Amino acid sequence: MSSDNSTGLVELAKRRGFFLQTAGAYGGVSGFYTFGPEGAALKRNIEDSWRDRFAIREGNMEVDAPTVLPEPVFEASGHLDGFDDMLVECPECGESHRADHIVEDRTDIEEAESIPVTEVEELVAEYELVCPTCGAGLAGQAIEDFNLMFETNIGPGSSASGYLRPETAQGIFIEFPQLAEYARNQLPFGVTQIGRAYRNEISPRKSLLRVREFTQAELELFIDPEEDEPALESVADVTAPFYPASDQTADDGEAREMRIQTVVDEGIVGKPWIAYYLGIAKQWYDTIGVDMDRFRFRQHRSGERAHYATDCWDAEAEVDGDWIELGGFAYRSDYDLSKHDAYSDEEFTVFRQYDDPVTVEQPTVDPDMSYLGPAFGDDAGAVAGAIENLAARNPGAFEGENVSVAVDDDSYTVPVEKTGFSVEEVTESGKHVTPHVVEPSLGIDRALYTALDHCYRDDEVDGETRSYLALPQTVAPTTVGVFPLMDRDGMGEYARDLATELREAGLSVTYDDSGAIGRRYRRQDEVGTPFCVTVDYATLGEARADADEAAGPDTVTIRERDSTAQTRVAVEDLAETLTALRDGRATFDDV
């Protein structure tokens, strides 16, 4: 679908009940959308498809955490200090805009969010960029960091500060000690979550592509970085276009089609776990209707990566002429668990048992407080703690007569003999590991919009222009439409009973007897229903063989959406046939 048709898609989405701007009766509210009946069904099917591939088939757990969390969680995670966008305010109309978006929209510069604020200010002046609302010049206007989290209060009166979560991940991380117990402390293990996240976007735009409330599907995989490896052979031959950071700055750089195994062998994707999930994601996006000719994986450049990521790749799709992010695949190392370990009262580690006990040398200290107290007064306890940390980190520092430790901005020198330093041999049965985290994080709303955009088709049927959605049958909002040829002579009653039977068989069914049969087909084509079943006079026996011959089974017509081809199927086989078509166990040609 070209960018010229984007307005048509939004109009279709509203008219046919996929999505519409929230609170339209009150003028609408920017950045919030309501999913109508078709959209809610499509969204649910995409979520179920993701759950099947990333949770069930991978053997991962699923949780459902609250959307509001207390402030200390986000202080530990770094979101209070590092979850910002660039805000510039127009001096004339007072409208606020994202400065990096203005740069990207009005220049050839891409990914301006990775550029420092001071350089973005220079670009605004250099290109004489103006306010998108009123056209006033923005040169010389200060660009400020704006934190994207929605703040709230938890409880009445002098209540605790809280925030709507900007990602679902923190709800998983803060419960890690308990989740590790559920996993019997065996690494690797994964925890998934599908839920709402909130970001107070400066300038929501492009329909569902940049909103303030959205649904994320995230997997947090906890691994031992020294021992755990993915089953890379299962996706080794999957191919996809890869756009590394080095190619993004080259004059002739472009995405290159490569095998998953190749990008690992050549070090293009540095973490095999990331490559593994890129392979799975590529296959999954294909199954929900994303056009693989308009799809790529793009690596984050150094200034673009989130504060927690050591490497990150985005799944991107071309929509309305722009490349948009569908999901991020980040190697978060031990950042999150280490932070919550330091800020909370829990331990965020897993005890990994050795196959055989090992004997190791372990430095220990027993500071002489009768010396430290008079020597350092109120700082004696802090000095003792610093000595213990130094012994664990750098035992060689105790080889001289004195050792120096830092407490805040002050340095203290202590005779080694007063530290009680010694090295002892101990037998260990295992070790405490702070797991590293591999995170595939996908946006459900963006996946839905992209699938609609990429599956939108126009063709001609019987001399008339037809618009339809070529959605895969596994995610289409409705699997089958059931119609009587006409609502008379018992055909309507038969069709209604048939629709009920198909629903009881677990199929998503719509019934329609309004208007000409061709118009009913078009309505279902437009919302992506892959199959339509028509009850006609032949179903009722009017056109069967001669009366003296044995009557055959009742049959109905099945029509396939994309080709508009039709065939007759026995009613007694209909539910099984449609289920096999929906699940991909049969094709229409097989029928």
| pLDDT digits 0-9 by tens, 222-234 | 999 999 999 999 9
pLDDT, residue 551, reads 57
Output the DSSP codes for 405-467.
EEETTEEEEEEGGGTT-EEEEEEEEEEEE--EEEEEEEEHHHHHHHHHHHHEEEEEETTEEEE
Antiparallel, parallel or unpaired: β 436-443 and 322-333 = antiparallel
**Least confident window among 284-293, 316-325, 498-507, 548-557:** 548-557
pLDDT in tens, 200-217: 999 888 889 999 999 999
Element of type H or E holding 500: helix 491-504
pLDDT in tens, 388-416: 989 988 999 999 999 999 988 889 999 99
Q: Is residue 340's pLDDT more than 50?
A: yes
User: How large a percentage of the chain has pLDDT more than 90?
Assistant: 81
- Paired tokens of 462: 């019987």
pLDDT, residue 114, reads 81
42: pLDDT confidence band, cut at 50, 70 and 90? very high
Peptide bond between residue 188 and the one before it cis (omega within 30 degrees of 0): yes
Q: Is residue 2's pLDDT more than 80?
A: no
Q: How far apart are CA 152 and CA 198, in angstroms?
A: 12
The 3-state DSSP class for residue 286 equals: helix
Higher pLDDT, 427 or 308: 427
Q: Is residue 55's pLDDT more than 50?
A: yes
Mean pLDDT computed over 37-48: 98
Alpha helices, DSSP H, located in 141-268: 169-173, 176-182, 245-248, 260-265
- Paired tokens of 549: 């011959």
pLDDT, residue 548, reads 45
User: How large a percentage of the chain has pLDDT more than 70?
Assistant: 96
pLDDT, residue 186, reads 94
474: pLDDT confidence band, cut at 50, 70 and 90? very high
pLDDT, residue 30, reads 92
81: pLDDT confidence band, cut at 50, 70 and 90? confident
pLDDT, residue 3, reads 45
Domains and CATH numbers, the chain: 84-147 (3.30.40.230), 361-427 (3.30.720), 478-583 (3.40.50.800)
Q: Is residue 547's pLDDT more than 50?
A: no
**Least confident window among 53-57, 294-298, 445-449, 545-549:** 545-549
Which sign does the torsion angle of CA 357, 359, 363, 367 carry? positive
Antiparallel, parallel or unpaired: β 480-484 and 531-535 = parallel
Mean pLDDT computed over 354-363: 86
pLDDT, residue 426, reads 85
163: pLDDT confidence band, cut at 50, 70 and 90? very high
Q: Under a CB-based contact definition with an 8 Å cutoff, are residues 119 and 112 in contact?
A: no
559: pLDDT confidence band, cut at 50, 70 and 90? very high
> Model-level pTM?
0.85
Q: How far apart are CA 490 and CA 499, in angstroms?
A: 14
pLDDT, residue 496, reads 97
pLDDT, residue 288, reads 98
| Averaged pLDDT of the chain | 92
Measure the N-to-C terminal CA separation of the chain; round to a whole number of Å.
Answer: 30
Phi, psi of 181 (to 5 degrees): -65, -40
- Paired tokens of 85: 């966008």
pLDDT, residue 23, reads 95
Mean pLDDT computed over 543-548: 46
**Least confident window among 10-19, 169-178, 302-311, 477-486:** 302-311
pLDDT in tens, 498-542: 999 999 999 999 999 999 999 999 999 999 999 999 999 999 875
- Paired tokens of 559: 């029509």
Q: How far apart are CA 574 and CA 479, in angstroms?
A: 13
pLDDT, residue 18, reads 97
Higher pLDDT, 295 or 551: 295
Element of type H or E holding 273: helix 272-287
DSSP 519: H
pLDDT, residue 546, reads 46
Mean pLDDT computed over 442-469: 93
Q: Under a CB-based contact definition with an 8 Å cutoff, are residues 350 and 337 in contact?
A: no
Which among 217, 347, 377, 379 has a CA at the least distance from the CA of 288? 217
Mean pLDDT computed over 548-557: 72
Phi, psi of 69 (to 5 degrees): -135, 155
Q: Under a CB-based contact definition with an 8 Å cutoff, are residues 10 and 27 in contact?
A: no
Q: How far apart are CA 535 and CA 336, in angstroms?
A: 59
Antiparallel, parallel or unpaired: β 295-299 and 239-243 = parallel
**Least confident window among 160-164, 259-263, 301-305, 352-356:** 301-305
Q: Is residue 550's pLDDT more than 70?
A: no
Q: Is residue 1's pLDDT more than 50?
A: no
- Find which of 148-152, 294-298, 585-589 is predicted with most confidence, using mean pLDDT: 294-298
Q: Under a CB-based contact definition with an 8 Å cutoff, are residues 100 and 92 in contact?
A: no
